[in-house]
Amino acid sequence: MTETTTSSRTAMIEVIKVSKSYPPNVTALADISVSIASGEVFFLIGRSGAGKTTLLKLLSNMDKPSTGLIEVAGMNIHQVTGNKLAKLRQKVGMAYQDFRLLTERTVAENIAISMEVSYKKPQIIRSRVRSLLAQLQLEDKHDILTGDLSRGEQQRVALARAVANSPTLILVDEPTGNLDATSTAQVMELLVRCSNSGATIVIATHDETLYRHSTHRVMRLHNGKLASLTRGNEI
Amino acid sequence: MNFWFSVFRQTGRNLRQTWTTQFMTCLTVSLSVLIFSFFYLIYLNMLNAGDKVSDDLRLVVYLEEEPGPEMQEQLRLKITQFDQVQEIKFISKAEAYSRFAKELGDNRDVLTDMPTDFLPASIEVTPLRSLRSLSQIKLFSEYLATLPGSQKVQYGQKWVERFYYFTQLLSIVVLLSGFLLILTATFMVASTIRLTIFARQEELELLKLVGATNNYIRTPFLLEGILLGLMGSLLGLASLYTLFQWILRHFSGAGFLDLFTFTFFPPEIICTIVILSIILCTAGSYTSMQKFLRI
Ligand SMILES: Nc1ncnc2c1ncn2[C@@H]1O[C@H](COP(=O)(O)OP(=O)(O)O)[C@@H](O)[C@H]1O
Ligand SMILES: [Mg+2]
C-alpha cells in the first residue's frame, strides 16, 4: 500500500475542531481535529455509537457540523452549493453503512447511477460495471434486483457504486460487516487498487484484521472524542 | 448530448414507474382539451354565421322628408360618427314606390290611384359584418332614431337579439371550459408529478448524494409535463376532429348546418391550443417541483 509519510503531501481532508450534536443533547462528535493526506488510507475505529458514521456523514456533506470547519480538497464543503456541490459530490464516493441501494433496480443500474450523473458514455459505464462485478465476484448478479440480494452482496454492490466513478475521495462505512474472509479480502483488494490509482480512502470499521498489520493511520473514537491516533501495527 | 441522453432515460424511467397515473392524467388533460375546443369551435363557427346573417341585415331609417344632396352628406357624416358601416344607401320616395310596385308584381293595379310619393324616403344602413357591430345594433338603432328628420328605425330586432344572446352565452361557456382546462392541466399534472416525486423520493435523495446537478434531477419532471401537455392536447384535438367529421357526415344536408359552412380550426389555432396546454402542464409540473423537490 501507500507510503506512511503524510506530512510531505497536500491534505485531502482537514477537520478542524469539529463537533456535532443532535437534539436534544446527544454529542456525537466533540472537538475532532485531524488532517488526512491526499492518497492516504485512513482507518476510523471505535465502538458502536462512537461517532464513526457521523464523521463520515460530515465528510460527505450529508450533514453539517454543529461547530468547526471541514475542508475537502481545499474547499469548505459546507459553503459549496449548486452545481459546484454536485461536482464535488461526484468526486466523493461513499459506501453507506445502510447501503442506500435502490432495491427495485438491478445491480448494474445501481452501480451505474454514480457514473450517469457525471454523463459518462453508456459503453464506458457498461464495461466499468462488468469489471467491478468481476472484481467482487458478483458477475452473475448483473441483472438481479438488489432487493433480492443477501446483505453481504448488497454491501459489495454499495461499495462498487461508491468507487465506480473513480472518485478522488472514497468514504467506506463498515465495508466488511456482513462478509466472510474471502469476500473481505476481495473488498480490500478493490480498495487497494483504488488507493494505488491515487484515491484517498477513509474506512470506518471495527474489524481489526483490516488494519492490524498495516502502517496506515488509525483514529479511535470514543463517545465522540478522539481517543487515539496511531499506526495500525502500533496498536 | 450526454445530458439529454441521461434526461430522456430518466424520463422514460419515470413514465414506466407511474405510467397508470400518467396515462389517466393524459386522458384527463385530453378530455378537457376536447371540451374546451368543442365549444370554442362552435363559437368560432357562430362568428362566421354572424357574418352570413348580417349579409341580409340592414337598418332602415324612415325619414320625414326627402333629403337634398347637402343633407344627405350631413346624415352620412352623422351615421359614420357612431361606427364605421359597410354601406349607406339613400332611397328616394320615387325609388321606394318603384320597388314596392315591383314587389307587388301582378297586383300593382292597387297602386294606380296612389300618388307616387306616398311612401317615405329612407336610408338603408348596412353595418360592418362583424359580431361586434351585430352586438351593438340595438344601440346603433337608437342612435339612428335621433338623426334629424328620422321617423322610425327598423331592423330584424328579435332575430338579432336572440342570436346575440346565444353567442354571448356560448362565449361564457367557452370561458368556463377554458377555465376547466386550466384547472385540470395545472392541478392534475401537479398532483401527478407530486406522486412521481414521492414514488422516487429515495432515488432522488441518492441522486443528490452521488452528485446529480439540479438540472439532471429537474429536467425529467419538466419534460414529463411537456409530454403530458403535448399528448393530452393532441389526443383531445384528434378526438374533436373525429367527432367533427362524424357530425359533418351525419348532419350535412339537415338544413341547419347549411346555414353556415362548418369548418375546423385553422392550423394557427391548433398550434395555439397545443402550445397552451404544454405551457399549462409544464407550469403544473414546475409548481410541484418547487414545492416537493428539496434540492
Ligand atoms: N440523526 C441522529 N439523531 C440523533 N442522534 C444520532 C443521530 N445519528 C447518530 N446519532 C447518535 O450519535 C452517536 C454516534 O452515532 P454514529 O456516528 O452512528 O456511531 P457509529 O457509526 O460509530 O456506530 C450515537 O449515540 C447515535 O445514537
Ligand atoms: Mg456507524
A89 vs B202, B209, B214: nearest CB:
B209
Whether residue B269 sits in one domain with residue B179: yes
Task: For the sheet with B150-154, list strands across it.
Answer: B85-91, B122-127, B59-63, B150-154
Distance A57 CA to ligand 2 centre (A): 10
pLDDT at B51: 61
Sign of CA dihedral B254, B255, B256, B261: positive
The larger pLDDT score, comparing residue B248 to residue A216, is at A216
Which residues of chain A does B208 touch, with a Cβ-Cβ cutoff of 8 Å? 89
Residue A155 CA to ligand 2 centre (angstroms): 14
Q: Which three cell numbers stand for residue B66?
A: 326627402
Which CATH number belongs to the domain containing residue B124 in this structure?
Answer: 3.30.70.3040
pLDDT given for residue A5 in this prediction = 45
Query: Domain boundary residue among B154, B183, B218?
Result: B154
Q: What is the secondary structure of B121-184 as a DSSP string?
A: PEEEEEE-SSHHHHHTHHHHHHHHHTSTTEEEEE--HHHHHHHHHHHHHHHHHHHHHHHHHHHI
Same-domain check for residues B220 and B273? yes
Q: Whose CA is nearest to atom 3 of ligand 1?
A: A22
A81 and B CB contact within 8 Å: no
Q: Measure A106 CA to nearest chain B CA, in Å.
A: 13
Cα distance between residue A10 and residue A6, in whole Å:
8
Chain A hits for B7, Cβ within 8 Å: none
Cα A223 to Cα B28: distance, rounded to the nearest angstrom: 57
ipTM > 0.85 for the complex: yes
Do B45 and B121 belong together in one domain? Answer: no
Burial B225-234 (b: 16+ CB within 10 A, else e): bbbbbbbbbb
- How far is residue B59's CA from residue B79's CA, in Å, rounded to a whole number? 11
CA distance B7 to chain A (A): 10
Asked if A83's CB is within 8 angstroms of B206's CB, the reply is no
**Residue A91 to residue A77: CA distance in whole angstroms:** 12
Give the model's pLDDT for residue B133.
58
A50 lines ligand 1 (CB under 6 A): yes
Q: Which residues of A148-173 are buried (b: 16+ CB within 10 A; e: fewer)?
A: ebeebbbbbbbbbbbbbbbbbbbbbb
For ligand 1, atom 25, the nearest C-alpha belongs to A49
B96, B125, B154 — which closes off a domain? Answer: B154
Provide mean pLDDT across the span A44-61: 94
Asked if A219 contacts A6 with a C-beta cutoff of 8 angstroms, the reply is: no
Same domain as B249, residue B199: yes
End residue of a domain, out of B122, B154, B186: B154
Integer Cα distance of A114 and A120 in angstroms: 9
Pocket test for ligand 1, best of A54, A59, A62, A63 (most atoms within 8 A of CB): A54
> Touching check for B207 and chain A: CB below 8 Å?
yes
Taking CA A110 as the corner, what is the angle to CA A107 and CA A112, rounded to the nearest 5 degrees?
Answer: 110
Write the pLDDT tens digit of every residue in B117-150. 788 888 888 877 665 556 677 788 888 888 888 8
In the numeric block, which cell numbers belong to residue B286? 414546475
How confident is residue A7, by pLDDT bands cut at 50, 70 and 90?
very low
Q: What global pTM score does this model have?
A: 0.75
State whether the beta carbon of A5 lies less than 6 angstroms from ligand 1: no
Q: Whose CA is nearest to atom 11 of ligand 1?
A: A28
B191 and B66 fall within a common domain: no
Mean pLDDT of the A156-179 span: 94
- CA nearest neighbour of B232 among B17, B23, B12: B23
Provide the domain count of chain B: 2
Structural domain range at position B38: 2-52+165-292
Residues B216 and B262 in one domain: yes
A161 close to B (CB below 8 A): yes
B186 lies in the same domain as B277: yes
Same domain, B180 and B269: yes
pLDDT of residue B56: 61
Do B17 and B82 share a domain, yes or no? no
**Among protein residues, the one whose CA lies closest to atom 5 of ligand 1:** A22
User: Would B120 be classed as within a structural domain?
Assistant: yes
Specify whether B176 is located in the same domain as B276.
yes
Whether residues B77 and B23 share a domain: the answer is: no
- Give, to the nearest 10 degrees, the angle between helix A122-135 and helix A151-164: 140
Within 8 A of A89 by CB-CB distance, chain B residues are 208-211
pLDDT-based confidence at residue A8 (cuts at 50, 70, 90): very low
With beta carbons under 8 A apart, name residues in chain B contacting A92.
211
Q: Residue B65 is placed in which grid cell?
A: 322628408
Smallest Cβ–Cβ distance between B211 and the set A62, A100, A117 belongs to A117
Report the mean per-residue pLDDT for chain A.
Answer: 91
- B71 and B45 share a domain? no
| Mean pLDDT of the A102-130 span | 93
Residue B159 lies in a domain: no
pLDDT of residue B66: 84
Q: What is the mean pLDDT of residues A135-140?
A: 94
Q: How far is A90 from chain B (nearest CA, A)?
A: 5
State which ligand 1 atom lies nearest to the alpha carbon of A55.
Answer: 17
Cβ partners under 8 Å of residue A166, min gap 6: A194, A197, A199
**Percent over 90 (pLDDT), chain A:** 79
In this complex, is the C-beta atom of A144 within 8 Å of any C-beta atom belonging to chain B?
Answer: no
3-class secondary structure per residue, chain A: CCCCCCCCCCEEEEEEEEEEEECCCEEEEEEEEEEEECCCEEEEECCCCCCHHHHHHHHCCCCCCCEEEEEECCEEHHHCCHHHHHHHHHCEEEECCCCCCCCCCEHHHHHHHHHHCCCCCHHHHHHHHHHHHHHCCCHHHCCCEHHHCCHHHHHHHHHHHHHHCCCCEEEEECCCCCCCHHHHHHHHHHHHHHHHCCCEEEEECCCHHHCCCCCCEEEEEECCEEEEEEEHHHC
How many angstroms separate the CA of residue A64 from the nearest CA in chain B? Answer: 14
The answer to whether residue B269 is domain-embedded is: yes
- Domain boundaries along the sequence of chain A: 101-165
Tens digits of pLDDT across chain B (295 residues) = 578 888 888 888 888 878 888 898 899 999 999 999 999 998 888 777 666 665 567 788 888 888 888 888 888 888 888 877 878 888 888 888 888 888 777 777 777 777 777 888 888 888 776 655 566 777 888 888 888 888 888 876 666 777 778 878 888 988 998 888 888 888 888 888 888 888 888 889 999 999 999 888 999 999 999 999 999 999 999 999 999 888 888 776 555 545 556 788 999 999 999 999 999 999 999 999 888 876 5
Q: Find chain A residues with C-beta within 8 A of B212's C-beta.
A: 86, 117
Query: Distance between CA B200 and CA B184 in Å, rounded?
Result: 23
Per-residue confidence (pLDDT) for residue B16, from 0 to 100: 83
All cell numbers assigned to A2: 501507500
Interface residue A73 vs chain B (CB under 8 A)? no
Percent helix, strand, coil in chain B, to 5, is: 75, 10, 20
Residue B197 placed within a domain = yes
Using CB atoms, pick whichever of A90, A100, A121 lies closest to residue B211. A90
With beta carbons less than 8 A apart as the criterion, state whether B225 and B189 touch: yes
